[in-house]
Amino acid sequence: MAKKIPLKRKYEMMTRGLAWDTTYQDMDDVYPYDKFEGIKIHDWDAWEDPFRLTQDAYWKYQAEKERKLYAVIDSFAQNNGQLGLSDARYLGALKLFLTGVSPLEYQAHRHFAHLARNIRGTGAQVAAQMQSIDELRHAQTQIHAISHYNKYFDGLHDFTHMHDRVWYLSVPKSFFDDAVSAGPFEFFTAISFSFEYVLTNLLFVPFMSGAAYNGDLATVTFGFSAQSDESRHMTLGLEVIKFLLEQDEANVPIIQHWIDKWFWRGHRLLSLVGMMMDYMLPKKIMSWKDAWEMYFEEQGGALFEDLARYGIRPPMHAEQANNEKHRISHEVWAIFYQYTHAAGFHTWDIDDEHKAWLSAEYPDTFDKYYRPRLDLWKQMAADGNRYYNMALPQLCQVCQIPMGFTEPDDPTTICFRSREYQGDRYHFCSDGCQYIFDHEPEKYIQAWLPVHQIFQGNCGGAEIPDVLNWYHLNLGVDNMAYEGSAEEKIWNDWMATRRVGAART
Amino acid sequence: MNVDIKAEDFTPRRHTYSNVARRYGEDRPASRYDEATYDLQATTNFHYRPLWAPEFEIFDTRRTAVVMEDWYAFDDPRQFYYATYNISRANMNAAADRAFEFVDQRDLMSRVEPGWLETVRHYLVPVRHFEWAADLNSLRITDYGYGTRVTSAAMFAAADRLGMAQLLTRIGLVLDGYDEAGLQTARTAWLEAPDWQGVRRLAEDTLVIDDWFETFVAQYLAADGMLHPLVYGVFDDAGLDHGATAVSMMCEFMVDWLKDNARWVDALVQVAAAESPENAELISGWYRTWRDRAVEAVSPLATTVLGDAGDSSVGTIKDALDARATGLGLEA
Ligand SMILES: [Fe+2]
Ligand SMILES: [Fe+2]
Ligand SMILES: [Zn+2]
């Protein structure tokens, strides 16, 4: 009869037991990339497996989840599930997600494969391999879940082409390129810890809750289905950090710097999510400010208290980020409102009900700083003079967002920072971005900055329509104001038919 | 509310994503496989060079000497995307579970002749380490490969290899009545037994290949092409005379896998070789090098298990492999 082997031991046989120290080839040749960052690891055996999932169990669980998920996606398409949306404006969030986030899922898949191949601790390798295939899942299922929307709505149709080219999509793209071009332990810190563990509730959750609140059944089903994957990714993120910190004291300052860097990089990336939450969801989940307080200030605060025993302090620019919670969503919306002719999604004038909500959520800032601007723009649009900014913006060299953020102590003054490096001057939106540049100038001077590239003639031509063609934006369809768009028309037609249908019964 | 559906116009404004439509040459409904695999990987405007390999872009066609006009010319005949892949393997695995149960219920292990059981422990259980190396090689292809048509299938293959390494671990435990000492013995054989050293050296040498397409040929055509038919075909057949039905049943997953996976391997090699005479020559050269290495590596093991018949069995497998390679447009 079968003897009982403890689960932990059995899992070790199924993972670490498979590997061996090579002798015909030098281990440093088999694993050439896990030392150059200066991270010291003395004992991979001390690694605690963050989850114990064998491949056969993985196939079983994931296959079951996929059967359910695709049943929902199929019936959603058959029953024209798009009619259940709160409003066609909701699509903006989905466009941002498919063009900005799904390609990152894909990138995560490829680079977790890199980690799984190149870290010499087998426990960590296997965990990274599981995450690699999970992230491929996320990319592929998102494409399938959104495929039906693409048939009826604009701005979704060429998301990978756009991700490689469109100006604001260089924000998420450069974020991830930064992580994958770093060493394996920085990538772990950047993505598994800072992004998936610390900030995930401010990225993934807002999109998925936004879908739930706004009747997007296809995306919300995907979101639920991905939850168990994400919880594995989060536990991996925490385990990696604790493991590295416990292995050697010399690792602490290295990790601290990475946390400082990736916190700020993540915070800047999330300003796009903040805009989405406060401005683009017809039915709001919560304000960006509340989300920041709950998920970063409270939960993140507790986490960093816990990490203090390793000598880790909260991220360097956390105070500035907390300070910005009253403004960034408004500042970013203003950027996109002005440049919506060059974007793959629509923006619109904010109605009174929405303004009242913003005013209540942001009592210290909205009425004072942002409402007057929205009122003015609405008036201009009513006068037939909808505001589009035709000058190309200056971009931050690090986060690549147009310079629209403001001074820490003055929300009415744009924040400019700059540095000279090897005879050229580089510009930054904030102290955080400048700090990141200062540590690795030779990296950030390589950045493919969309506006520079346009001026250098690398983006299809000198005129804005040339550039938009090069982006594969269908002019007058994918871009411009929501008011008067094809999307508004189709939506209103559907809704009008439904009202007639309802009235007849 | 009674909705008058007929009055509503649900004519799609487009049928698939633009990148897929461009590949089809027209806008028409696409397969899920195509939407999930075409053009997913970034191809241009990378922001930074990898600190760990500054001579390359993050994704770079120069990671292999094989040249393709279009890296999306490959087709996985199985049309695997994540969902269909996992469902396929969950089904194969359910069959494996039933086999293990059957072996247990009928106590089939007791029918294996003790001497042969010793042989099985020696030739079969160390293969889990070979599969681990194959997993690493698959991850290398996933990492350095160019284009999702190649890399997503490589990811699935990586999961397959890990799954088989773990299945072999499970078999190893069954062979020893759930005593983990058997795994340790097999590990020692892998590390030290003279008849295993050729295979281990082969595995370690494939781990340091720079060109991912060469890794692919070495692992998936040459090493797998020799070792899998030997272990799961010839050795397994020999076991039938020694009451080893249980072993065959527990290994069926691997037999099914090899057939299934070969469809992908062959399609990939065939398309790459047909692309140009230069590709065909390059891949043929890799094939011959690694085939010779694999033949040499597995021969001592064949002799251990089959005695004098070992060499001729290896020769038969080699001939079949050469015929397969020739059929794919290679010069064997
Ligand atoms: Fe993901
Ligand atoms: Fe994740
Ligand atoms: Zn910045």
Check residue A505 and give its pLDDT: 54
Closest CA–CA distance from residue A381 to any residue of chain B (Å): 28
ipTM for this model? 0.97
B86 within 8 A of A59, measured Cβ to Cβ:
yes
A436 inside domain: yes
Check residue A46 and give its pLDDT: 95
For tokens 């116009």, what's the residue?
B9
A474 inside domain: yes
| Distance between CA atoms of residues A117 and B137, nearest Å | 8
A219 inside domain: yes
Check residue B10 and give its pLDDT: 86
Chain B residues in contact with A5 by the CB 8 A cut-off are 173, 178, 180
State residue A392 phi and psi, 5-degree precision: -75, 135
Q: Which residues of chain A, if any, have pLDDT below 70?
A: 1-3, 501-505
Do A498 and B3 lie within an 8 Å CB cutoff?
A: yes
A27 within 8 A of A19, measured Cβ to Cβ:
no
Q: Count of domains in chain A?
A: 1
**Alpha carbon distances (Å) from A199 to A125, A326, A402, A408:** 23, 18, 22, 22
Do A18 and B51 lie within an 8 Å CB cutoff?
A: no
Identify the closest residue of chain A to B105 by CA–CA distance.
A1
User: How far out from the chain centre does Cα B152 lie?
Assistant: 13
A385 inside domain: yes
Give the number of other CB atoms < 10 A from CB of residue B4: 14
A476 inside domain: yes
Distance A11 CA to ligand 3 centre (A): 44
Check residue A89 and give its pLDDT: 98
Chain A residues in contact with B180 by the CB 8 A cut-off are 5, 9, 13
Check residue A503 and give its pLDDT: 67
Closest CA to A73 of A151, A129, A136, A163: A151
- Sorted by where each begins, the domain ranges of chain B are 82-327
Interface test with A, best of B6, B13, B201 (most A CBs within 10 A): B13
Check residue B1 and give its pLDDT: 43
Do B158 and A129 lie within an 8 Å CB cutoff?
A: yes
- Chain A to chain B, count of Cβ pairs less than 8 Å apart? 261
The predicted-structure confidence for B5-17, as pLDDT tens digits, reads as follows 555 678 999 999 9
Secondary-structure class of domain B82-327 per CATH: mainly alpha
Identify the closest residue of chain A to B151 by CA–CA distance.
A110
Q: What is the mean pLDDT of residues B109-127?
A: 97
Q: Which residues pair with A395 in a beta bridge?
A: A402
Chain B residues in contact with A151 by the CB 8 A cut-off are 12-15
Check residue A4 and give its pLDDT: 79
| Distance between CA atoms of residues B76 and B155, nearest Å | 13
Check residue A1 and give its pLDDT: 45
For tokens 């997503």, what's the residue?
B152
- Tell me, what CATH number does A82's domain have? 1.10.620.20
> Residue B200: which of A24, A56, A446 has the nearest Cβ?
A24
Closest CA–CA distance from residue B102 to any residue of chain A (Å): 14
Count Cα neighbours of A290 within 13 Å in the Cβ-side half-sphere: 12
A326 inside domain: yes
Q: What is the mean pLDDT of residues B88-96?
A: 98
Around ion ligand 2, which residues have CB less than 5 A away? A 233
Chain B residues in contact with A84 by the CB 8 A cut-off are none
Domain that holds residue A491: 9-35+45-504
Q: What whole-number percentage of chain B has pLDDT above 90?
A: 96
Interface test with A, best of B1, B23, B33, B40 (most A CBs within 10 A): B40
How long, in residues, is chain A?
Answer: 505
Closest CA to B236 of B223, B221, B253, B220: B253
A1 inside domain: no
A220 inside domain: yes
Distance B31 CA to ligand 1 centre (A): 23
Q: Where are the alpha helices (DSSP H) in B125-234?
A: 127-144, 148-175, 181-192, 194-207, 212-216, 224-228
Do B50 and A24 lie within an 8 Å CB cutoff?
A: no
Q: Is A213 exposed, middle or buried (0-12, 13-18, 19+ CB in 10 A)?
A: middle
Do A129 and B51 lie within an 8 Å CB cutoff?
A: no
The predicted-structure confidence for A272-295, as pLDDT tens digits, reads as follows 999 999 999 999 999 999 999 999
| Distance between CA atoms of residues A398 and A481, nearest Å | 29
Interface test with A, best of B11, B18, B57 (most A CBs within 10 A): B18
Distance A16 CA to ligand 1 centre (A): 25
Q: Is A23 helix (H, G, I), strand (E, B) or coil?
A: coil
A27 within 8 A of A21, measured Cβ to Cβ:
yes
pLDDT above 50: residue B285:
yes
Closest CA–CA distance from residue B55 to any residue of chain A (Å): 12
Check residue B2 and give its pLDDT: 47
Check residue B272 and give its pLDDT: 98
Interface membership of A504 toward B (CB under 8 Å):
yes
Do A137 and B82 lie within an 8 Å CB cutoff?
A: yes
Handedness of CA A494, A101, A209, A129 (dihedral sign): positive
The predicted-structure confidence for B157-199, as pLDDT tens digits, reads as follows 999 999 999 999 999 999 998 889 999 999 999 999 999 999 9
Interface test with B, best of A67, A143, A499, A505 (most B CBs within 10 A): A143
For tokens 């699509």, what's the residue?
A91
Distance A134 CA to ligand 2 centre (A): 7
Chain A residues in contact with B3 by the CB 8 A cut-off are 498, 501-502
Check residue A200 and give its pLDDT: 87
Do B132 and A18 lie within an 8 Å CB cutoff?
A: yes
Distance A138 CA to ligand 1 centre (A): 5
Distance A143 CA to ligand 3 centre (A): 30
Do A151 and B15 lie within an 8 Å CB cutoff?
A: yes
Do A140 and B190 lie within an 8 Å CB cutoff?
A: no
| Distance between CA atoms of residues A257 and A396, nearest Å | 20
Contacts of A441 (CB under 8 A, 6+ apart): A419, A421, A422, A426
The predicted-structure confidence for B58-90, as pLDDT tens digits, reads as follows 999 999 999 999 999 999 999 999 999 999 999
